[in-house]
Chain A
Amino acid sequence: MESWDVEFRAVTKRYGALDVLRGVSLTIRAGEFVSLLGPSGCGKSTLLRILAGLDNCDSGDVLVGGASVRHQPPGQRNIAMIFQSFALYPHMSVRQNLATPLVMGRQSFLQRQPLVGRAIPGGGQVRSQIAAEVARVAELLQITPLLDRKPGQLSGGQKQRVAIGRAIIRRPRLFLMDEPLSSLDAGLRAAMRSELVDLQRQLGITTIYVTHDQAEAMTMSDRITLMIGGQIVQTGSPTEIFHDPAHVSVASFVGTPRINLLPATVADGRVHCLGIELPIAVPGAPTGDCQLGLRPEDLCLSADRAEAGDVAWQADIVRAEEIGHERLVHLRMRESEPANLIVRQSAESRSGSDLPSVGTVAVIPDLRRAKLFDDAGNRIAPLISTVEPAARAASRAGGRF
């Protein structure tokens, strides 16, 4: 199947007094799987609906394959969409549900009519074509035994497949999905995730996937577009989004548990955080307040103050959660407000550890992975760790990272 690219140019949308989309521009390459990720109300569903033609944008343009579709009615755009509720026609059988896009697209107005349509000559060939397509798609998605049932008699996963079938049967230019897995239970969700990705690779259709679940976006997409407050904050591969966030909101949104943010200050290209001058240099960074971001897995704990070294903070353990393969330790910092920190300890790093589950410990950051954000939230880079090679080797020897 042919692949199409999509472009949004400065799309804006307003509902009453609310700016839902504030000038969104985005290019999606042919055959890509792009997720629109963000919290509720960020505008991702609205953007999708504008692409589908279910809503109009106030200004800007939407192009598919280089041509504007802004004024085309949704039925003519040849775009398929899968809804969170699947939106299967409840009064039609699965077979009829699957056939509907083809009936609307290939049969003439008269041929479509319920009783008289059969009497119109020449309709037989189209009808058998449609029946063949329905059988083909049903076979592909393994729903052939369900063809004569109604949606009310299907399970969640089966409904999902029928919805997919209805979407792909007319070989659309684009696949749009609006949180299609949210109404499935967790086990099914994981299975459907990989099925959807496999299908997309197989068919090669450009796919845009809206979700608020970052794990979904991270595991399924070629690229992720993070939206907050009606604007795109960052677009990039899952790795880039996770390891190279452009803004503190990106770093906060992606990653579970949430990234730890500590208040810090920059002066003369040096960074001070909670009473410690950190061995990192940020040349060219403006003087002022900033935030130091360290993910739970970028921190390490030590019961021995001396061994921890100079670059460490004191904290009290509030609670330790055992999750089998790892342990999440909740700590309360003495010198900061807000005071809480979460550290992730993987099984290996703990083996042989004598760390108690209460008491005071030293918290040691891995500054190579630290992220610094200025007071507007933008990422300060480059961030050069100036820890001496010897010290680095020593801490590595401690086996804690």
Chain B
Amino acid sequence: MTHAAAILPANPASSEGMRPALSRWFGALGGHAFLIALAAVVLLPYVWMLLTAARAPADIFADPFGLPTGVEHLQANVARAFDTVPLLRFMANGLVVVTCILFLQLAFAIPCAYALAKGQFRGQKLLFALILTALCVPIQVPMLPIYLALAKLGALDSYAALIVPFALSPFAIFLLRQQFKSYPDEIIQAARLDGFSEAEIVMRLIVPSARPVIAAFAVFSVTAHWNDLYWPMIVITSLDKATPPLGMLFFKDGDFGTDYGALMVAAIVTVAPILIAFLFAQRQFIRGLTMTGLR
């Protein structure tokens, strides 16, 4: 084996040089081919959604593979979609709900995380242990008694019912505590000496320093709650309070559920906001939705 090299030609410009480069090229081509094939499967529903939204209902049934023939069908589908169900209302509901939830989650989590990270109080360890426990509990389990309580209070089918159960996010507390822990104590002490109140320290020093983590969490929370079907399906019964996923379900289960053209328009409208936000803020999204994998 050690003498094999002596047999190779010493000519640097020989055709030997072509083969490694070529095989590398083929390797790259194969890799791209594999990725493109899978990407096509992943994109298939999106492409289909867009194509179908621009075709007339009759055509969709007659010729599934056909392509859109003009803009007028798209316009008609859009008109019908917004007529059949209050799409705009759904979007507005979604916006209100995710914003309120995020606001509440941060409002409760930030002080708590700060206290857990930098504070010293009785029961601190216990509180943190309970937070960790809450992390291990799937949200659908406490939903049962909360639903009962809301029913007793007559508060079902309301915005409050959609928002309040999510006001506490153990995940946010866990994440922020970890982040706040790494903030230098000396700066906090110096700030206290300078006359900052605790609230000012939190809001003007600590929170800005944790902006990336808060942004990532915001992405996670907004996406999760915009896309949530389970809880709205449980508490909401009237059309005008439905969030986008529930709205989609109402549409599909309604009389016009087989109007695929309009249905696809509704799907596009439901999916679009988060998708566009994703395209503009890819890094935050990827970070937020895979943040150590914890929900």
**Contact A67 B6, beta carbon cutoff 8 Å:** yes
CB-defined contacts of A64 to chain B, threshold 8 Å: 5
Residue from A65, A73, A76 within 8 A of B6 (CB atoms)? A65
**A287 to B11, alpha carbons, bound, how many Å?**
47
**Contact B2 A66, beta carbon cutoff 8 Å:** no
Residue from A9, A78, A105 within 8 A of B5 (CB atoms)? A78
Residue from B5, B6, B12, B20 within 8 A of A61 (CB atoms)? B12
CB-defined contacts of A2 to chain B, threshold 8 Å: 2
**Contact A73 B10, beta carbon cutoff 8 Å:** no
Is A63 among interface residues, defined by CB-CB distance under 8 A? yes
Majority-rule SS of A interface residues: loop
CB-defined contacts of B8 to chain A, threshold 8 Å: 67-69, 72
Residue from B2, B9, B16, B20 within 8 A of A171 (CB atoms)? B2
**Contact A72 B17, beta carbon cutoff 8 Å:** no
**Which of B4, B5, B11 is the most central at the interface, judged by chain A CB atoms within 10 Å of its CB?**
B5
Is B44 among interface residues, defined by CB-CB distance under 8 A? no
CB-defined contacts of A78 to chain B, threshold 8 Å: 1-2, 5
- Given the known interface contacts A65-B6, A66-B6, A66-B10, the answer about A71 and B16 at a Cβ–Cβ threshold of 8 Å is yes
Chain B residue nearest to A63 (CB atoms) is B10
CB-defined contacts of A171 to chain B, threshold 8 Å: 2
- Given the known interface contacts A60-B12, A70-B12, the answer about A65 and B20 at a Cβ–Cβ threshold of 8 Å is no
Residue from B1, B6, B20 within 8 A of A71 (CB atoms)? B20
Residue from A60, A68, A72, A105 within 8 A of B10 (CB atoms)? A68
**Contact A68 B20, beta carbon cutoff 8 Å:** no
Number of interface residues of B (CB under 8 A): 16
**Contact A73 B20, beta carbon cutoff 8 Å:** yes
**Contact A72 B2, beta carbon cutoff 8 Å:** no
8 A Cβ contacts from A68-119 to B: 68-73, 76-78, 105
**A65 to B5, alpha carbons, bound, how many Å?**
8
8 A Cβ contacts from B12-52 to A: 12, 14, 16-17, 19-20
Is A173 among interface residues, defined by CB-CB distance under 8 A? yes
Rounded to whole Å, the gap between the CB of A78 and the closest CB of chain B is 5
Chain A residue nearest to B20 (CB atoms) is A71
**Contact A70 B17, beta carbon cutoff 8 Å:** yes
Rounded to whole Å, the gap between the CB of A3 and the closest CB of chain B is 11
**A67 to B6, alpha carbons, bound, how many Å?**
5
Rounded to whole Å, the gap between the CB of B22 and the closest CB of chain A is 12
**A65 to B7, alpha carbons, bound, how many Å?**
11
**A72 to B2, alpha carbons, bound, how many Å?**
13
Rounded to whole Å, the gap between the CB of A298 and the closest CB of chain B is 46
**A76 to B2, alpha carbons, bound, how many Å?**
9
**A72 to B6, alpha carbons, bound, how many Å?**
12
CB-defined contacts of A65 to chain B, threshold 8 Å: 5-6
CB-defined contacts of B12 to chain A, threshold 8 Å: 9, 60-61, 68, 70
Chain A residue nearest to B10 (CB atoms) is A68
**Contact B4 A76, beta carbon cutoff 8 Å:** yes
CB-defined contacts of A61 to chain B, threshold 8 Å: 10, 12
- Given the known interface contacts A68-B12, A71-B16, A71-B17, the answer about A173 and B6 at a Cβ–Cβ threshold of 8 Å is no
CB-defined contacts of B14 to chain A, threshold 8 Å: 71
CB-defined contacts of B4 to chain A, threshold 8 Å: 76
**Contact B10 A173, beta carbon cutoff 8 Å:** no
8 A Cβ contacts from A44-72 to B: 60-61, 63-72
**Which of A2, A63, A70, A173 is the most central at the interface, judged by chain B CB atoms within 10 Å of its CB?**
A70
CB-defined contacts of A173 to chain B, threshold 8 Å: 2, 5
A binding-site residues for B, Cβ under 8 Å: 2, 9, 60-61, 63-73, 76-78, 105, 171, 173
* Across the A-B interface, the 7 shortest Cβ-Cβ residue pairs: A61-B12, A68-B10, A71-B16, A67-B5, A67-B6, A67-B8, A71-B17
Can you name 9 extra interface pairs (CB under 8 A) apart from A61-B12, A72-B8, A76-B5?
Answer: A61-B10, A67-B5, A67-B9, A68-B12, A70-B17, A72-B5, A78-B1, A78-B2, A171-B2
Can you list 18 contacts pairing A with B, beta carbon distance less than 8 Å? Answer: A2-B2, A61-B10, A63-B10, A65-B5, A67-B5, A67-B8, A68-B10, A68-B11, A69-B5, A71-B16, A71-B19, A71-B20, A76-B4, A78-B1, A105-B1, A171-B2, A173-B2, A173-B5
